[in-house]
Structure 1
Amino acid sequence: MPKLPEELTLPKDYVADSPPAVPVTPKDSATVVLLRDAPSGIEVFLLRRVVGMAFAGGMTAFPGGGLDRRDADTSVAWAGPEPAWWARQFGCEPEMARALVCAAVRETFEEAGVLLAGPDGDSVVGDTSRYAESRAALVGRQVSLAQFLAEEGLVLRADLLRPWANWVTPVDEPRRHDTRFFVAALPEGQRADGVTTEAEDVEWNTPADALTAWREGRRGLLPPTWMTLAELAEHASVASALTADRQISKIIPRVVRDGSVIRAVLPGDPRYDAAPGHVDARPGDRIER
């Protein structure tokens, strides 16, 4: 794992002045890193979150969000690794694993217009503009993912996703997420549009160039995004990233204050054990929104 740079600091309003007396229970979430091959190398799809959002406003991130209760619907037509396989990758119960994969597919469609589904387990839809009304209905919670797929005769393609990481927001923070990161290739014939009220702008960029934009102050990155980009920068192609051997465990940064700046430190950093207010992750399979 690359080492977080000292220049990577947290926004001043990101951490409460005093940690909550009772740590906030992290909300289960899913994030999908969309990838494509380009002449300049592997590229990732990035959104700059709207300034003023309750969580990570103004930061550059990947599509994703919290679980909807209906993501646990077992009626979803499914192709690819079974929930039990995903459960082993992320260290959770199969029911939670199923909901996480469904949330990953739903959020990617809602925020990027990319749909990881097809008429059967061997195909994937092309142009997704025909599903614009359904996409809006998903965003408005008027339909569930299971309803949308059933109405359109589509099968969720779990095999188009790969597990990448699991980050948990530090205990000091008032809004916490237990986020499972997935990677997926942009399906042929589809385009990521970023038509979402949660993003100010979107772009495809190489991981190296995205990190340069952060270093030059043109993009704000939180530690999970920075780390994911740094790891992907080591891959020359989408195929390389999708076949990477990933051993996933929960990464729970701790927060340290260094004068006027706030930093996140990771296990292995000498400051980690000395950081105050930390509690270890507790297994939990509640699905809430």
Structure 2
Amino acid sequence: MTIGGAAEPGAVAVPRLAATVVMLRDSPDPAPGRSPLQVFLQRRVAGMAFAGGMTVFPGGGVDPGDRPDPAHWSGPDPAWWGRRLACEPELAGALVQAAVRETFEECGVLLAGPPEGGAALGPDLAPALAAGREDLVARRRTLADLLAATGLVLRSDLLRGWARWITPPASPRRYDTVFFTAIVPDGQQADAATTEAVEAAWWHPAAALERWQAGEIELMAPTLRTLQQVAAFADAASALAAAAERTITPVIPKVRRQGEQVVVVVPGDPEYATAVDHLSPGGRP
């Protein structure tokens, strides 16, 4: 993930644009009492400047190189995504490009496929994609460069918009982040091969929420709210289908305590004015 700039002392930081992908799958071996639906989560390195030690979905900041190449793009175009995300087409295209790039960098899942259709990536592409992933992380080339070199096209139809969250003003580093969802394409596997996380795995959303409530993992408000929402679905297909019905507007979240629970509140909730930017399950700020 690319880290945004920090605010000057006493100033409010300008949010940096970012994209996050809630990767979905149905567990091949569901745990007893759990639905098949799982999400991919990573626990970030504790010393990182933003969200250190937090358990998050893959994602990161929009880079200057995240400019879509129409010759290597398939599915809804930037103009369509601009209408969906309520922003300019150029920005929407960069957000989609960043979402695909960051997902590939951080967990090795590439939301792309051959131009003739399908999302299958042949084994003959494995060496080029492995080298390309390293180049992307090192910023030696862009995702558009990699797609051109491998003859693949970005599959924007594999993504669905979910939400848009803005870091509260009190944070010295802020992001304006679009949350997307996607199902891992057949034949691909998410991995933990990133230096930005100390562990990564597939979780049942309810299990992640239980671990958070027990104080065993830390979640930021947008991650918490998203897990609570996704946990309501029985399988990955249902969650992906529901994304198409969601209205996406920028939200600055806050949290409040309700008994032993920490509850995310958003503008319009009666308790929003008295809520705070962050609480742990145990009550620590």
Matched-pair contact (CA < 8 Å) for 1:45–1:204: yes
* Secondary structure in structure 2 of the residue aligned to 1:163: strand
Aligned partners of 2:276, 2:206: CA distance in 1, in Å?
A: 33
Matched-pair contact (CA < 8 Å) for 1:76–1:149: no
* Secondary structure in structure 1 of the residue aligned to 2:246: coil
Q: C-alpha displacement at 1:156, in angstroms? A: 0.3
Matched-pair contact (CA < 8 Å) for 2:67–2:144: no
The percentage of aligned residue pairs carrying the same residue is 54
| Structure 2 counterpart of 1:29 | 18
Structure 1 gaps, min length 5 = 1-15, 278-289
Does residue 67 in structure 1 map to residue 56 in structure 2?
no
| Structure 1 counterpart of 2:269 | 269
Matched-pair contact (CA < 8 Å) for 2:221–2:254: no
Aligned partners of 2:254, 2:216: CA distance in 1, in Å?
A: 26
Give the AA of the match of 1:267: P
| Structure 2 counterpart of 1:53 | 48
C-alpha offsets along residues 220-257 of structure 1, whole Å, 9 cap, x if unaligned?
A: 11110011111001111111111111111111125789
Give the AA of the match of 2:220: L
Q: C-alpha displacement at 1:74, in angstroms? A: 3.5
| Structure 2 counterpart of 1:249 | 249
- After TM superposition, the structure 1 = structure 2 runs for residues 147-186 of structure 1, keeping only pairs within 5 Å, are 147-186=145-184
Give the AA of the match of 1:160: L
Matched-pair contact (CA < 8 Å) for 1:20–1:172: no
Q: C-alpha displacement at 1:170, in angstroms? A: 0.4
| Structure 2 counterpart of 1:11 | none
* TM-score normalised per structure 1: 0.82
* Secondary structure in structure 1 of the residue aligned to 2:211: helix
| Structure 1 counterpart of 2:95 | 100
* Secondary structure in structure 1 of the residue aligned to 2:171: coil
| Structure 1 counterpart of 2:283 | none
Give the AA of the match of 1:91: A
| Structure 1 counterpart of 2:120 | 125
| Structure 1 counterpart of 2:76 | 81
Aligned partners of 1:168, 1:85: CA distance in 2, in Å?
A: 22
Give the AA of the match of 2:235: S
Does residue 216 in structure 1 map to residue 214 in structure 2?
yes
Give the AA of the match of 1:213: R
CA RMSD across the alignment: 2.5
1:231/1:83 Cα in 2 relative to 1: closer, same or farther (>3 Å)? same
Aligned partners of 1:255, 1:173: CA distance in 2, in Å?
A: 14
Give the AA of the match of 1:108: T
Q: C-alpha displacement at 1:58, in angstroms? A: 0.5
Give the AA of the match of 1:29: A
Q: C-alpha displacement at 1:52, in angstroms? A: 0.7
Structure 2 gaps, min length 5 = 1-5, 278-285
- After TM superposition, the structure 1 = structure 2 runs for residues 135-146 of structure 1, keeping only pairs within 5 Å, are 135-146=133-144
Matched-pair contact (CA < 8 Å) for 1:207–1:230: yes
Aligned partners of 2:45, 2:101: CA distance in 1, in Å?
A: 20
Q: C-alpha displacement at 1:272, in angstroms? A: 2.2
Aligned partners of 1:228, 1:265: CA distance in 2, in Å?
A: 12
Q: C-alpha displacement at 1:20, in angstroms? A: 5.9
1:21/1:264 Cα in 2 relative to 1: closer, same or farther (>3 Å)? farther
* TM-score normalised per structure 2: 0.84
4+ runs deviating over 4 angstroms:
254-257, 262-265, 274-277
Matched-pair contact (CA < 8 Å) for 2:76–2:157: yes
Q: C-alpha displacement at 1:268, in angstroms? A: 3.3
Higher RCO (CA-CA < 8 Å; seq separation 6+): 1
Q: C-alpha displacement at 1:73, in angstroms? A: 4.1
Aligned partners of 2:255, 2:215: CA distance in 1, in Å?
A: 22
Q: C-alpha displacement at 1:183, in angstroms? A: 0.3
Aligned partners of 2:153, 2:265: CA distance in 1, in Å?
A: 41
